[in-house]
Amino acid sequence: MKTLLALTALLITVGCGGGTEEDAGTDVDSGGASCTGASDGTSCGTDRICLGESCVESRCGDGFIDPARGETCDDGNDVAFDGCEPTSCRATCSESSECDDGVACNGAETCSDSVCAVGVMEPDGTTCSITGGAAGVCRAGSCVVAGCGDGILAADESCDDGNDADGDGCESDCRFTCEVDPSAPQRWYVDCDGDGYASDGALTDDVCLPPAATGCGGGWTLLRPVGDDTDCDDDDPDSRPGGTEICDGADQDCDGTPDNGVLLTFYRDADTDGHGDATMTMEACAAPSGFVTSSDDCDDDCITCLPGGTETCDTRDNNCNMMIDEGVLTTFYRDSDEDGFGNSAMTMEACTAPSGYTDRDGDCDDGDVGAFPGQTAYFTRARMGGGFDFDCDSRDTRQFNSTGPATCRCTCPVGFCCAGMCSGWTGAVPRCGDSAEWRETTCTCGWPTSTRTQGCR
């Protein structure tokens, strides 16, 4: 009895020892390392990490990226091809070449956000190469051997239903059954506008001879509406495969693009001078409002600026020859002394006189306001630049050039004054700016002398 009680107590002690070490966040293999308060991913033993303060085995799919295991992602699920593979915890793809299935007809696969995206399927009839390098064509995303039976209607085929069965309207040699057996039916397609082409989805009738006339006013055709042989407008006989495109907004050649190759280019004419801006274009069948056919305007904001225009002095290219104000600029001369005449050696071309310039040149001393062409005053001083040529005629013109006689008689009638009749220098005529003795008669026949300075211009 005592032995039974002792064994029972021992079992109770082992079974109720206060919980497991993992429940307490401690790993036996780690030497007792605790995950309590530890960040997710903290190592707590061999191949074990802390997750939610518990020490667990690190594995792919636990939702934590463990670089020590070579993981680059971990989305916590077991879904394949979703961008993170469940068996390796690595990206499904990192570049488009990893997604390529080697099938050209189903389009080029691409890698986007680590997920492989399917490509755009090539149109039926696109050329391709099948295994072994033989020529093929695309059909429903697969590359099949080119030729009769590929489901693609070729120029030398009457039909191609994609199988090798006979008697189904299209024989295994891609001829209509009626061509082989006139009693057999063949497929006719409604051709409302009578241009020999049927539209996609046209009503059909499987008989050997053409059915009765249709209610749409046209007839029937054996040409199947597929690919480039589909009528894009079965109400217009001018719109058909191979038709001649005209500029009218309709698609006459049935290539899916109206007016391709026949649109005219027009150019914006903002200043309404009949010449447009080559950089602002619009394609249309007729000129839109504000557009013209000419593209040679050099300044579409200036109505007087156009090829062949008359150049005016306005700092713009009025004749569109890539030059501005050529031949119409005025030459102005520097007028430092502001006497109305400028220095011929200092010029500026402009439409109007810049400040400090004049349109009259020939100033022989632009630092002396008294020196300019046409000066009539005489000066007893020299010019600021030297010399006495104040009227700019390249010579010094003296004011007083006469010399008086030794004696002077008054022969004036009584009551008249004879002053100045015998005026003159008493000696040689002095040079410009020099002083000398000067005599001059008076009204009383006197002949007094005075000192006078020679003026010049």
In 3D space, the residue among 443, 449, 434, 445 whose CA is nearest the CA of residue 404 turns out to be 449
Whole-angstrom distance, CA of residue 428 vs CA of residue 414? 33
Domain-located, residue 408: yes
Residue 79 has pLDDT above 80, yes or no: yes
Mean of pLDDT values over 344-352 = 95
Domain-located, residue 134: no
- Reported as a single tens digit per residue, the pLDDT across 287-298 is 999 999 999 999
Whole-angstrom distance, CA of residue 55 vs CA of residue 64? 13
Residue 415 has pLDDT above 70, yes or no: no
Domain-located, residue 435: yes
Domain-located, residue 406: yes
Domain-located, residue 80: no
Domain count along the chain: 1
Beta-bridge mates of residue 451: 437
Domain-located, residue 377: no
Kindly tell me the burial class for residue 104, based on how many C-beta atoms sit within 10 Å of its own C-beta (0-12, 13-18, 19 or more): buried
**DSSP-assigned letters across all residues of 206-273:** EESS--SPPTTS-EEESS---GGG-BS-TT-TT-STTPPP-SSSS-TT-SS-TTTTTPEEEEE-TT-S
pTM: 0.42
Domain-located, residue 277: no
Domain-located, residue 343: no
Place of tokens 């755009």: 120
Domain that holds residue 407: 398-457
- Reported as a single tens digit per residue, the pLDDT across 106-133 is 888 899 888 988 888 888 888 888 877 7
Residue 433 has pLDDT above 90, yes or no: yes
Mean of pLDDT values over 211-238 = 77
Torsion of CA 304, 305, 306, 311, to 10 degrees: 90
